[in-house]
Amino acid sequence: MSKRKSREQHFTVGECVSQVQGILRKRFCHQQLPEKPLGLESQYKHLLELLRRTAVHGESNSVLIVGPRGAGKTMLLRLALRELLELSEVKKNVLQVHLSGLLQTDDRIALKEITRQLQLENVVGDRVFGSFAENLVFLLEALKKGDKSSSRPVFFILEEFDLFAHHKNQTLLYNLLDVSQSAQAPVAVVGLTCRLDVLELLEKRVKSRFSHRQIHLLNSLRFSQYQEAFCTELTLSDDFPDSKFSQEWNHNIKKLCEEKSVVEILQKHFNSSTDFRSLHSLLLLAVSRISVSNPSLKASDLLEASRMSSADSKGNILHGLSILELCLIIAMKHLNDIYEGEPFNFQMVHNEFKKFLQRKSHSIHNFEKPVVFKAFEHLLQLELIRPVDGGVCKVQREYQLMRLMLDHTQVMEALQRYPQCPTDVKQWAVSAFG
């Protein structure tokens, strides 16, 4: 105990910060699995039960895990495998084959990878398998040998499952699902995909061999759980080398979770996306701001990280516009307010701009109409405005109907950050009647 204390006293702030960043980055970059799948409890239970039936009872299964990117499909599967492999009889017995549609681009490559992962490469006894057909026959025979009690269960995990459906004749999918249906060898085929219509891609003979089990990841996460996950992800565990630093850090995180500004930031991110990938991106940016001079996380770090992670591409384009182009955007914003979002044309925008010049502006030069039209066309090229009819309608360019592709908030935020924006232009933007 005394040795531990003396060791703790030798840790500098720099060493502690370095260790904190290492631990948290490992968490946020998906190298470390969470304790439990938040918001996906029922799906986790279902998947675990299916895999357990194959691993323990020798029952063949096939299942698809369907959900958008970042929903936690791979995480869910890895958690289920982790819990299952904690059982010693399962760990010794189960074989796993991991394939990806992005890497195994045809059935021949996929079969070679299966053979490699099952350690059945090329030579068994004195036999050498050269061709695809021989290799396939051998592999299927190897899986089908023996009865349920003497065959080792095999999990086939197919990431990007929909890409395997594009392989010629879907030979690999057909044979895997055929083995899982034949029940001669205990096999679980688990496909992970983002496509809801994935079954429509399968041939009839493949579809007939699939169990039609699907696990949909529709995240039912509540904001309170999201907040709890935020605190948990940033909290250091008890085995951190410097207990004093760890206690101070955790106390600071607890206070941070209760701050109103932090709750507002989290609510904003939760409203736009409930997946943990976006939360981890936010936390990674925030954690990268801690240093020896700033050893604890502050609300300002999260605010800056939030600004960086939710940077608005269209809003950023506004910062590079000329004053004339910015004035045209403001004129369009006013037209949107006056006519409640109805489309406008160049002539209407030009009239609005001229009104501003006559009434309020002392800092903006009175541009000729062709120059203003050139600026209007530049906004069209930048896709900040777009034609209502897609540019098909044969009318004069000045009278072609357009829509502004920015909302009120984006325009106002960009104006606040615009370098050296004239005061009368800002006042015109916030005025109610243009």
Question: What residue ranges do the domains of the chain occupy?
Answer: 2-29+221-309, 41-216, 315-430
pLDDT at 174: 86
Average pLDDT of the segment spanning 282-301: 86
pLDDT value at 144 more than 60? no
Name the pLDDT band for 350 (thresholds 50, 70, 90).
very high
- Return the percentage of the chain with pLDDT > 70, whole number: 86
pLDDT band at 184 (very low <50, low <70, confident <90, very high): low
Query: For the residues 211-228, what does the mean pLDDT come to?
Result: 84
- Going by pLDDT thresholds of 50, 70 and 90, the confidence category of residue 24 is confident
Residue 191 has pLDDT above 90, yes or no: yes
Show the tokens assigned to 140.
């299927």
Q: Which residues contact 396 (CB under 8 A, 6 or more apart)?
A: none
Would the pLDDT of 361 be above 80?
Answer: no
pLDDT surpassing 80 at residue 178: yes
Confidence at 433, pLDDT banded by 50, 70, 90? low
Residue 205 CA to residue 202 CA, distance in Å, equals 8
Examine the pLDDT at 117 and tell me if it is beyond 90: no
Cα 328 from Cα 275, distance rounded (Å):
38
On the CB side of 34, how many CA atoms lie within 13 Å of its CA? Answer: 22
Q: Is the whole-model pTM more than 0.75?
A: no
The CA–CA distances, whole Å, from 350 to 42, 177, 212, 355, 378 equal 58, 65, 60, 9, 15
End-to-end CA gap in the chain = 73
**Which pLDDT score is estimated for 428?**
86
Take residue 215 and report the two structure tokens written for it: 């696990």
Report the C-alpha gap between 56 and 97 in whole angstroms. 18
Query: Can you tell me the distance from the alpha carbon of 331 to that of 350, in angstroms, rounded to the nearest whole number?
Result: 8
> Over the chain, what is the mean pLDDT?
82
Q: How far apart are CA 370 and CA 51, in angstroms?
A: 70
CATH of 315-430, one of 1.25.40.10, 1.10.10.10, 2.60.40.420, 2.30.110.10: 1.10.10.10
Burial class (CB in 10 A: 0-12, 13-18, 19+), 212: exposed
Please name the amino acid found at residue 58: G
The answer to whether domain 41-216 has CATH 3.40.50.300 is yes
> What whole-number distance in Å separates Cα of residue 78 and Cα of residue 85?
10
